[in-house]
Amino acid sequence: MSGDELSAWLKESRPDRIEELFQKAYEVKVAEVGRKVFFRGIVEFSSHCGKDCLYCGIRRSNRSAERFEMSDEEILECIAGAIEMEYGSVVLQAGERNDAAFTRRIEQLLQEIRRRHGGDIGITLSLGEQSEETYRRWYDAGANRYLLRIETSSKRLYRTLHPESHSYEERLSCFRRLRDLGYQAGTGVMIGFPGQTSEDLAEDILFFERENVDMIGMGPYIPHGQTPLGAEAPAVDSKERLLLALKMIALVRLQLPDVNIAATTALQALDPVGREKGLQAGANIIMPNITHTRYRKFYQLYDNKPCVDENAGMCRSCLNGRILSIGETVGYNERGDAPHFFRRMSSSDIVA
Residue 56 in the binding site for ligand SF4 (CB under 6 A)? yes
Helix (H, G, I), strand (E, B) or coil at 349: helix
User: Which range of residues in 93-101, 174-182, 280-288, 317-325 is near ligand SAH by CB under 6 A?
Assistant: 93-101
Rule CB under 6 A: choose which of 21, 29, 96, 188 binds ligand SF4: 96
Q: What are phi and psi of 114, to 5 degrees?
A: -65, -40
Of 35 and 60, the one with the shorter C-beta distance to ligand SF4 is 60
What is the distance between the alpha carbons of residues 190 and 192, in angstroms, rounded to a whole number? 7
Residue 188 in the binding site for ligand SF4 (CB under 6 A)? no
- Gap between the terminal Cα atoms of the chain: 30
Of 174 and 315, the one with the shorter C-beta distance to ligand SAH is 174
Q: How far is CA 41 from CA 187, 233, 279, 311, in A?
A: 18, 32, 17, 12
User: Residues 276 to 305: which contact ligand SAH by CB under 6 A?
Assistant: 301-302
Residue 242 in the binding site for ligand SF4 (CB under 6 A)? no
Bridge partners of residue 37, in order along the sequence: 330
Q: What are phi and psi of 41, to 5 degrees?
A: -70, 125
User: Which range of residues in 17-25, 145-153, 290-298, 321-329 is near ligand SAH by CB under 6 A?
Assistant: 145-153
Of 49 and 213, the one with the shorter C-beta distance to ligand SF4 is 49
Least distance in angstroms from the C-beta of 275 to ligand SAH: 14
Residue 149 in the binding site for ligand SAH (CB under 6 A)? yes
Site string for ligand SAH, 164-203 (x = CB under 6 A): --------------------------x-------------
Q: 351 near 59, Cβ under 8 Å?
A: no
Taking Cα atoms as reference points, which of 152, 243, 247 lies closest to residue 195? Answer: 152
Least distance in angstroms from the C-beta of 3 to ligand SF4: 27
Which amino acid is residue 300, in one-letter code? Q
Bridge partners of residue 86, in order along the sequence: none
What is the distance between the alpha carbons of residues 289 and 286, in angstroms, rounded to a whole number? 10
Contact residues for ligand SF4, defined by CB under 6 A: 49, 51, 53, 56, 58-59, 95-96, 128, 301
